[in-house]
Chains A and B, each alone.
Chain A
Amino acid sequence: GAGVSQSPSNKVTEKGKDVELRCDPISGHTALYWYRQSLGQGLEFLIYFQGNSAPDKSGLPSDRFSAERTGGSVSTLTIQRTQQEDSAVYLCASSLVQLGFTGELFFGEGSRLTVL
């Protein structure tokens, strides 16, 4: 596709359930990033991938969060045993190289997660 695609766009789940969020980056983009955006907290870095490896996963808030990327393309962010504080918009972004000179990340429209 022309842009970064994320699914689902909206997800409502019950506390304690596991959720998977998917990101399909722009074709040819080697770097992929996950951010979380919630009210009052701004855009919070979670993890980034260069190819299939994750050089920086320092932003993952707990061991309930994990992410993988396969084939240097699609990435999945998994949240186990969801809690209400996990409710947020999860944004995925990709870039052609690891933050080229312009620092331009191309963002998807996000997956809005609501944990009841």
Chain B
Amino acid sequence: QKEVEQDPGPLSVPEGAIVSLNCTYSNSAFQYFMWYRQYSRKGPELLMYTYSSGNKEDGRFTAQVDKSSKYISLFIRDSQPSDSATYLCAIRRSQGNLIFGKGTKLSVKP
């Protein structure tokens, strides 16, 4: 089993929709969870991070971690065309590096 799994999509939604992006992971010892956003032909940029379980909100974005089911989610409210990008979940390993999901390509149609 891979350490982190993410459905690559693609996902297409109309402007204003609520978007739900998800990843699962295998190692219950993981504590730090991140979401990166990558625009076409650019490097990924950190969007949000969470520690352990719970929710974290930043504007239209909410990151959620459920450690009991080893499931992490990113919700985008009132999605905008400018949100069109690839979203990658990432988990910090004990060795210090990040492992990434394959990324979900999101397209928000005006």
Interface residues of A (CB under 8 A from B): 4, 31, 33, 35, 40-43, 45, 48, 50, 55-56, 58-59, 91, 93, 98-99, 101-105, 107-110
Q: Which residues of B contact A91 (CB under 8 A)?
A: 43-44
CB distance from A80 to the nearest CB of B (A): 24
Distance in angstroms from B104 CB to nearest chain A CB is 10
Residue of A33, A102, A109 touching B97 (CB-CB under 8 A): A33
Interface stretch (choices B12-20, B74-82, B88-96): B88-96
Residue of A nearest to B101 (CB): A42
The main secondary structure of chain B at its interface with chain A is: strand
- Name B100's contact: one of A40, A42, A58, A108 (CB within 8 Å): A42
List the B side residues contacting A93 at CB < 8 Å.
Answer: 43
Partner of A43, one of B42, B44, B46: B44
Q: Which B residues are within 8 Å of any A CB, using their own CB?
A: 6, 8, 32, 34, 41-46, 49, 51, 88, 90, 92, 95-103
Does B46 contact A104, Cβ atoms closer than 8 Å? yes
Known: A103-B32, A103-B49. A110 touches B43 (CB 8 A): yes
Residue in B34, B43, B99 whose beta carbon sits within 8 Å of that of A108 in the complex: B43
Contact indicator A99/B98 (Cβ below 8 Å): yes
Contact A43 B103 (CB under 8 A): yes
Whether the pair A42, B102 counts as a contact (CB closer than 8 A) is yes
Q: 16 A-B contacts, Cβ less than 8 Å apart? A: A4-B43, A33-B97, A41-B102, A42-B6, A42-B102, A43-B44, A50-B96, A55-B96, A99-B97, A99-B98, A103-B32, A103-B49, A103-B90, A105-B46, A108-B43, A110-B43
